[in-house]
């Protein structure tokens, strides 16, 4: 054997890379859940929009696609804010599952609007670094993935600093810990809702750009499965827990790839849900979730 | 109040559609026999809609051409009548397919059906077609589980496509006759060395069918090929890195990839670029498409593909002119390239016209008989013996499949295919690329 | 409950509706297209009603296609292997789905509604993967297998008979739901749905009731799945698809969650709208319109289309005062 350690660490590296996309999605979902106590199943459509915004700008401008992060994040923040205002604000505090049902509607709307504009053919773009691969012993480390992993870490650090060090970030955390209390303290909770939803969508948009840059193909229907896995991740990690989202994202990325390695690729989607069910049976609040109520 | 009025307006629009729908589905008067009605079953929506559009547009093109020449002569009527196509959107689902086909049969009173793509969708409306005895020229549904069904009467169904056994056979023959000897001679292996082949296949009827066909063939023909890995992946997958890493550890000489185009592009890139797998990937006919060459870029260099309709590698001979004509007409009308499914549907419409002319009647039983006894010169795709005819057992037409190898075209920077197999069609010799490394045992 | 009151407009409407359902085939004759649409509509009315029944207990599922498909596979395998008539194996299909449903319910009763939604969604994915990989020797994998028809095609007018059979099953299912909800069980379910803590305080143990709701819902869903398979005459793993999990949700919400009439009205209106939009040649726009309709209904008409008359009455009263 050509060092099975080498193969295993290679698989772990692929897991790390796919974990990055999941982490960005799950962190956004978790932030939104923390503040608004809603789950948005249409979150994957933000990921999809992110890839298409990147694709569109890349085709007309020809810029280095990594630079387009500067565009895809703000565009998605705006989209997120619009969606929050139009769709989620009116149903806050109504039925228990209404937000899930409304996101079903949003999924149809987004997927098919994109399909109308760009058709539903598969698309891809090419990163300028796609030909560079760094060999480290038995490991193959394409430069793009190293950049993607670094960018993800940078985004997460920036996000952490924003939450900890800025007044806005503190307000968001306050709203997330105790909505009524925050309201009493004079924090405009509705504004925080809008903002968190926007940031969550923005993180998904960043994930979209990274998805496109890594040379993965995309079409209008690509968002649903990653988003649902993102949702499995935050349940796994514990609702509202950002470290939980990061650990959960990495765990799913790894487990998926090792399952594909051992059981075969058909189990790749199913295994995340098996993991989820097993964790929930043992710990109904998720790994890092606090016991509520 | 204002928002509520928007809602009311929306509801009103929906209601209008409701009323419209009842109007639209109103039973049409029995066909005036002034035209031939052909129903085209195509996925205009849903995941298969890219192929669906290709199918519909190509059928439209064929009908227009036939009508421009004055239509189809029907002896019973003593005159030529034009073809009228009716679209049936199967929505890429089984429920949608059943609704579409039953509408085509009873509301639109079609004389004949063409099209059909996904095997699962076709399987759900075959029973209706069998019952109503409408001739159906199916250009998709490559799984033999659809064409070799015995529980229903398939005598009105005709399959104008190679089934998974056919395309598997051509690919394996090529591997055995060409690739295996050239590896052995280039690297000084003994002539009886078993070729190490890894199969990466889509977890679907299409992928499973190919895998079974390939394994069966190797076993029954006792070929010196060893399948060292069988790796399935989910339909629509775009991350093959782990699967490829696993395959790499098995040291294959060649990868047999059963994929859709959107899967082959990332697979090829990731194999060569990310995983460093310097081996050949042999793919299946449905990937011979301009979008593949554009998407795969330089990583497609030297790869091989089994094919039956190629946009760039048009085989020399009788089919060349027809193919070029079709491609340029399609481009003129819709812009862009027609795909393999489009080509097969285009031919299917011509086949339908020929059968009606032979039958001299629009009676379905007569059209069926004409189809069963059809012997029509090949058009664009190369058929066995140069004629399109349907086998007596399962009504499948038999194709002469070929294999292309890609090489980078300096002008476009994209790979372009050239036919390398079989002998009578090839335009150049198959070459192992310099970067190729065989799998060690 | 004023169901027995003959002057109640709802009773009249229901009666008119039933008469219409029974008479429709007389008007359209044995037209394949209309009967196909009607049969699929009835199957989905059963399916959506079953999904909706779960919401009476305050639970929601995003993966009901799992039970739809399990019912289909169990019933058709029994029919094939043992040669039993489809009408008999239907019940076994439902029972099998119910057993699996209760098992899933057991792992879920302690979970909050979002978790349940996820677990059910994941369950459908897991089942589909199992069916095409490990269970492939029995299920035929992706190829699936042919299945006998509900009514053999050799019988003249078989489609019409099929329609009436499914209509009777649908009516039976809805009547059962009606009596279940009127019974003490229904009251307990409502109490649990409104406030689980208070229900506990009142001495209701929610677990058996929730499991019961899950079992009944899975049972009826399994029957609907078997009906579809026996109607198609062929089964493939596409039956576990995400879209098949979502349609009953869309139907129920459009018609009105938590009402018996909701899923019926919703299924009829949405299918007609869908096929109508299809007939006018809309493709992607069809999905967008359904999506917008769904969003608007959730925001402005949370109790669905069936609440329109009430809303109008309310509006009129408000104007008068």
**C187-229: pLDDT as tens digits:** 999 898 888 888 888 888 888 999 999 999 999 999 999 999 9
- Chains touching C, CB cut-off 8 Å, 3+ pairs: A, B
Straight-line distance from the first to the last Cα atom of chain B, in angstroms, rounded to the nearest whole number: 76
Q: Report the pLDDT averaged over residues C272-293.
A: 88
In eight-state DSSP terms, residue A166 is S
Share of chain A above pLDDT 90, in %: 34
> 3-class DSSP state for residue A235?
helix
pLDDT band for position A84 (50/70/90)? very high
Query: Residue B251: is it exposed, middle or buried by C-beta count within 10 angstroms (0-12/13-18/19+)?
Result: middle
Do residue C292 and residue A272 have CB atoms under 8 angstroms apart? no
> 3-class DSSP state for residue C159?
helix
Q: Alpha carbon B281 to chain centroid distance?
A: 20
pLDDT band for position A2 (50/70/90)? very low
When CB atoms are compared, the residue of A109, A228, A267 closest to C121 is: A228
Do residue C273 and residue B17 have CB atoms under 8 angstroms apart? yes
Residues of B in contact with A258 (CB under 8 A): 242
Do residue A121 and residue B291 have CB atoms under 8 angstroms apart? yes
Residues of C in contact with B44 (CB under 8 A): 283
Q: Report the pLDDT averaged over residues C240-258.
A: 92
Nearest chain A residue to C289 by CA distance is A109
Q: Is A121 on the interface with B (CB under 8 A)?
A: yes
Q: Is C241 on the interface with B (CB under 8 A)?
A: yes
Share of chain B above pLDDT 90, in %: 56
Interface test with C, best of B124, B147, B208, B210 (most C CBs within 10 A): B124
Which of A256-265, B4-13, B229-238, B284-293 has the lowest average pLDDT?
A: B4-13
DSSP for B310-329, written as a single string: -SS-PPSSHHHHHHHHHHHH
Q: Report the pLDDT averaged over residues C83-89.
A: 92
> 3-class DSSP state for residue B376?
strand
pLDDT score of C96: 96
Does the pLDDT value for residue C118 go beyond 90? Answer: no
* CB–CB contacts below 8 A, A to C: 118
Query: pLDDT of B372-383, one tens digit each?
Result: 999 999 999 999
Residues of C in contact with B204 (CB under 8 A): 142
Phi-psi label, residue A88: left if phi above 0, alpha if psi -120 to 50, beta otherwise: alpha
pLDDT score of A289: 66
pLDDT band for position C242 (50/70/90)? confident
Query: pLDDT of C20-42, one tens digit each?
Result: 888 888 877 778 888 888 999 99
With CA atoms as reference, report the closest residue to B223 among B173, B171, B283, B257.
Answer: B173
Residues of C in contact with B102 (CB under 8 A): 32-33, 36
Distance CA B43, CA B56 (A): 9
> 3-class DSSP state for residue B206?
helix
With CA atoms as reference, report the closest residue to C87 among C175, C169, C174.
Answer: C169
Cis before C224 (ω within 30): no
Shortest distance between the Cα of A110 and any Cα of chain B, in A, equals 14
Do residue A221 and residue B238 have CB atoms under 8 angstroms apart? no
Residues of A in contact with C119 (CB under 8 A): 273, 276-277, 280
DSSP for A3-29, written as a single string: -HHHHHHHHHHHHHHHHHHHHHHHHHH
Residues of B in contact with A216 (CB under 8 A): 238-239, 266
Residues of B in contact with C150 (CB under 8 A): none
pLDDT score of B18: 53
pLDDT score of B194: 92
The reply to whether B30-162+320-388 and B165-307+401-421 are identical in fold is yes
pLDDT score of B11: 56
Distance CA B284, CA B299 (A): 17
Q: What angle do CA C157, C161, C164 make, to 5 degrees?
A: 145
Q: Is A120 on the interface with B (CB under 8 A)?
A: yes
Specify the fold of C9-320. Answer: ABC transporter involved in vitamin B12 uptake, BtuC (1.10.3470)
With CA atoms as reference, report the closest residue to A239 among A291, A180, A170.
Answer: A291
Distance CA A271, CA B167 (A): 33
Shortest distance between the Cα of B203 and any Cα of chain C, in A, equals 8
Interface test with A, best of B274, B287, B296, B336 (most A CBs within 10 A): B274
Per-domain boundaries in chain C: 9-320
The superfamily (CATH) of domain B165-307+401-421 is: Response regulator (3.40.50.2300)
Contact partners, residue B9, CB within 8 Å, separation at least 6: none
Can you state the angle between helices C184-194 and C206-232, rounded to 10 degrees?
110
Distance CA B112, CA B37 (A): 7
Contact partners, residue C112, CB within 8 Å, separation at least 6: none
Q: Is A285 on the interface with B (CB under 8 A)?
A: no
C-alpha neighbours within 13 Å on the C-beta side of residue A17: 26
Interface test with C, best of A104, A115, A284 (most C CBs within 10 A): A104
Per-domain boundaries in chain B: 30-162+320-388, 165-307+401-421
ipTM for the assembly: 0.87
Shortest distance between the Cα of C231 and any Cα of chain B, in A, equals 9
Q: Specify the higher pLDDT residue, A240 or A81.
A: A81
When CB atoms are compared, the residue of B18, B45, B93 closest to C272 is: B18
Query: pLDDT of C160-196, one tens digit each?
Result: 899 999 999 999 999 999 999 999 999 999 898 888 8
Does the pLDDT value for residue B25 go beyond 50? Answer: no
Do residue C291 and residue A272 have CB atoms under 8 angstroms apart? no
Token match 């998407």: residue? B295
With CA atoms as reference, report the closest residue to B298 among B320, B321, B280, B272.
Answer: B272
Straight-line distance from the first to the last Cα atom of chain C, in angstroms, rounded to the nearest whole number: 29
Residues of C in contact with A90 (CB under 8 A): 299
Distance CA A49, CA A57 (A): 12
Q: Is A262 on the interface with C (CB under 8 A)?
A: no
Residues of B in contact with A121 (CB under 8 A): 50, 291
Do residue A217 and residue B239 have CB atoms under 8 angstroms apart? no
CATH architecture of residue range(s) B30-162+320-388: 3-Layer(aba) Sandwich (3.40)
Shortest distance between the Cα of A181 and any Cα of chain B, in A, equals 32
Q: Report the pLDDT averaged over residues C247-266.
A: 92
Q: What angle do CA B154, B156, B158 make, to 5 degrees?
A: 85
Query: Residue C163: is it exposed, middle or buried by C-beta count within 10 angstroms (0-12/13-18/19+)?
Result: buried
Distance CA B348, CA B115 (A): 8
pLDDT score of B441: 59
When CB atoms are compared, the residue of C33, C233, C278 closest to B107 is: C33
Token pair of B148 as six digits: 């070799």
Query: pLDDT of A143-155, one tens digit each?
Result: 888 999 999 999 9
Shortest distance between the Cα of A131 and any Cα of chain C, in A, equals 35
Q: Is A5 on the interface with B (CB under 8 A)?
A: no
Distance CA A130, CA A215 (A): 8
């Amino acid at each position: 054997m050509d060092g099975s350690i080498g193969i295993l660490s290679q698989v772990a590296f692929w897991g790390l890379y796919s974990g990055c996309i999941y982490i960005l999605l799950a962190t956004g979902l978790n932030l939104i859940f923390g503040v608004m106590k809603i789950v948005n199943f249409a979150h994957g459509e933000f990921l999809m929009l992110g890839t298409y915004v990147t694709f569109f700008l890349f085709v007309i401008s020809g810029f280095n696609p990594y630079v387009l992060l500067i565009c895809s994040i703000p565009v998605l923040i705006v989209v997120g804010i619009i969606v929050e205002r139009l769709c989620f604000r009116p149903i806050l505090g109504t039925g228990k599952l209404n937000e899930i049902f409304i996101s079903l509607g949003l999924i149809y709307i987004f997927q098919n609007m994109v399909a109308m504009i760009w058709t539903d053919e598969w698309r891809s773009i090419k990163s300028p670094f796609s030909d560079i691969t760094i060999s480290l012993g038995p490991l193959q480390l394409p430069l793009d993935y190293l950049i993607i992993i670094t960018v993800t870490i940078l985004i997460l650090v920036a996000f952490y600093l924003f939450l900890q060090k800025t007044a806005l970030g503190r307000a968001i955390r306050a709203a997330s810990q105790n909505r009524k209390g925050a309201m009493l303290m004079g924090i405009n909770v509705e504004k925080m809702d809008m903002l968190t939803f926007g940031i969550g969508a923005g993180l998904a948009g960043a994930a979209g750009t990274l998805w496109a840059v890594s040379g993965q193909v995309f079409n209008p229907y690509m968002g649903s499965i990653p988003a649902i896995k993102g949702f499995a991740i935050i349940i796994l990690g514990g609702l509202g827990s950002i470290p939980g989202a990061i650990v959960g994202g990495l765990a799913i990325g790894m487990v998926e790839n090792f399952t594909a390695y051992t059981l075969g690729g058909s189990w790749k989607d199913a295994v995340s849900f098996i993991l989820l069910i097993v964790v929930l049976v043992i710990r109904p609040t998720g790994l890092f979730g606090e016991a509520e109520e | 109040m204002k928002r509520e009025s928007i809602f009311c307006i929306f509801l009103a629009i929906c209601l209008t559609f409701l009323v419209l729908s009842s109007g639209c589905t109103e039973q049409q008067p029995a066909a005036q026999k002034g035209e031939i009605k052909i129903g085209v079953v195509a996925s205009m929506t849903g995941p298969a809609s890219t192929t669906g559009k290709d199918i519909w547009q190509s059928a439209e093109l064929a009908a227009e051409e036939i009508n421009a020449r004055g239509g189809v002569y029907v002896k019973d009527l003593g005159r030529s009548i034009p073809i009228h196509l009716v679209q049936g959107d199967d929505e890429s689902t089984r429920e949608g397919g059943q609704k579409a086909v039953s509408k085509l049969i009873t509301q639109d009173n079609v004389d004949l059906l063409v099209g059909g793509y996904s095997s699962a969708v076709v399987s759900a409306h075959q029973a209706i077609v069998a019952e109503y005895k409408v001739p159906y020229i199916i250009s998709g549904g490559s799984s033999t589980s659809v064409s070799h069904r015995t529980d229903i009467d398939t005598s009105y169904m005709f399959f104008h496509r190679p089934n998974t056994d056919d395309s598997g056979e051509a690919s394996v023959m090529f591997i055995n006759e060409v690739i295996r000897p050239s590896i052995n001679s280039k690297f000084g292996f003994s002539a009886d060395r078993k070729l190490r082949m890894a199969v990466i296949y889509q977890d679907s009827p299409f992928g499973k069918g190919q895998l079974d066909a390939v394994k069966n063939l190797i076993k029954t023909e006792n070929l010196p090929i060893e399948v060292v890995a069988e790796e399935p992946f989910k339909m629509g997958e775009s991350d093959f890195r782990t699967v490829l890493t696993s395959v790499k550890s098995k040291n294959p000489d060649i990868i047999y990839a059963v994929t859709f185009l959107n899967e082959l592009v990332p697979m090829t890139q990731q194999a060569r670029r990310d995983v460093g797998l310097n081996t050949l990937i042999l793919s299946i006919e449905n990937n011979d498409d301009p979008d593949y060459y554009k998407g795969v870029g330089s990583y497609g260099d030297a790869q091989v593909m089994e094919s039956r309709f190629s946009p760039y590698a048009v085989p020399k001979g009788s089919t060349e002119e027809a193919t070029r004509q079709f491609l340029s007409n399609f481009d003129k009308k819709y812009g862009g390239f027609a795909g393999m499914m489009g080509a097969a549907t285009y031919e299917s419409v011509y086949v339908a016209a020929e059968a009606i002319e032979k039958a001299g009647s629009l009676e379905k039983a007569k059209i069926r008989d004409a189809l069963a006894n059809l012997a029509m010169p090949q058009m664009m795709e190369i058929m066995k013996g140069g004629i399109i005819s349907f086998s007596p057992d399962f009504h499948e037409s038999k194709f002469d499949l070929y294999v292309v190898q890609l090489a980078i075209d300096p002008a476009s920077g994209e790979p372009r295919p050239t036919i390398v197999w079989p002998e009578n069609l090839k335009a150049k010799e198959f070459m192992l690329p310099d970067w190729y490394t065989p799998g060690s045992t | 409950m004023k169901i027995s009151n003959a002057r109640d407009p709802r009773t009249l409407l229901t009666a008119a509706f039933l008469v219409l359902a029974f008479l429709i085939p007389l008007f359209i004759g044995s037209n394949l297209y209309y009967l196909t649409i009607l049969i699929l509509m009835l199957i989905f009315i059963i399916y959506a009603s079953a999904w909706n029944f779960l919401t009476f207990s305050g639970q929601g599922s995003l993966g009901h296609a799992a039970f739809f498909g399990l019912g289909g596979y169990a019933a058709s395998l029994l029919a094939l292997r043992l040669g039993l008539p489809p009408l008999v194996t239907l019940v076994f299909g439902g029972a099998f789905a119910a057993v699996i449903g209760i098992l899933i319910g057991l792992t879920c009763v302690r979970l909050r509604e979002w978790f349940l939604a996820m677990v059910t969604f994941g369950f459908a994915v897991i089942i589909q993967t199992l069916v095409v990989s490990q269970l492939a020797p029995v299920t035929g994998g992706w190829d699936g297998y042919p299945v006998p028809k509900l009514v053999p095609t050799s019988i003249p007018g078989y489609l019409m008979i099929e329609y009436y059979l499914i209509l009777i099953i649908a009516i039976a299912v809805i009547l059962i739901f009606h009596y279940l909800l009127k019974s003490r069980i229904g009251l307990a379910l409502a109490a649990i749905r409104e406030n689980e803590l208070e229900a506990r305080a009142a001495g209701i143990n929610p677990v058996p009731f929730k499991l019961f709701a899950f079992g009944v819902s899975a049972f009826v869903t399994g029957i609907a799945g078997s009906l579809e398979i026996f109607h198609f005459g062929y089964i493939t793993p596409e039956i576990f698809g995400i879209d098949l999990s979502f349609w009953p949700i869309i139907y129920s919400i459009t018609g009105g969650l938590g009402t018996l009439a909701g899923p019926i009205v919703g299924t009829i209106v949405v299918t007609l709208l869908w096929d109508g939009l299809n007939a006018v040649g809309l493709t992607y726009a069809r999905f967008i319109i359904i999506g917008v309709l769904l969003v608007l209904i959730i925001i402005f008409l949370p109790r669905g289309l069936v609440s329109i008359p009430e809303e109008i009455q309310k509006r009129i009263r408000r104007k008068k005062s």
